[in-house]
Structure 1
Amino acid sequence: MADDDRLTRQQYRQQRSQPTGHDTQEQESPTAEPSASRQAYAAENNRAVEEAKTKRLARKLNWAIAGLVVGIIIVFLILFLTP
């Protein structure tokens, strides 16, 4: 394969998105629909995974903040209550 034959991803997508005379019938067929639904499913799945990770991180940060607050309170109690 020569270097001239190689396409970047963007060029390949543009080439695929431009309909030609014989491709218009194929694009109107129902086979184009699953591709769109797969992309929608993948986008929804990625969003759900991202949401779950965000919630998990928020929970961990809340526990860390609570631990620090308790630690600060204990240090102040030790400093003020010891003679």
Structure 2
Amino acid sequence: MINTRLGVVGIVIENREAVPRVNEILSKYAEVIIGRMGLPYRAREVAVISLIVDGNTDQLGALTGKLGSLPGVTVKSALTKSP
């Protein structure tokens, strides 16, 4: 894949009402998601999702930006350097 970057995206959902919208966004960007693991962390009343992604910077920026704009959702990403 030319001009794509491999990386990880961590998502913490504190607002359970945001879950349907998070899943909708993730479905929209399914082509850049290589793997996904989601776990409820009941002791803290949050859900944690980790993604392995491979896409161009526009795609990955749009994905993380849309997720991060949701109330009660925190997103952090780490991407490989440009090819």
Larger RCO (CA within 8 A; separation ≥ 6): 2
Normalised by the length of structure 2, the TM-score is 0.21
The structure carrying a bigger helix percent of its residues is: 1
The structure carrying a bigger strand percent of its residues is: 2
Normalised by the length of structure 1, the TM-score is 0.21
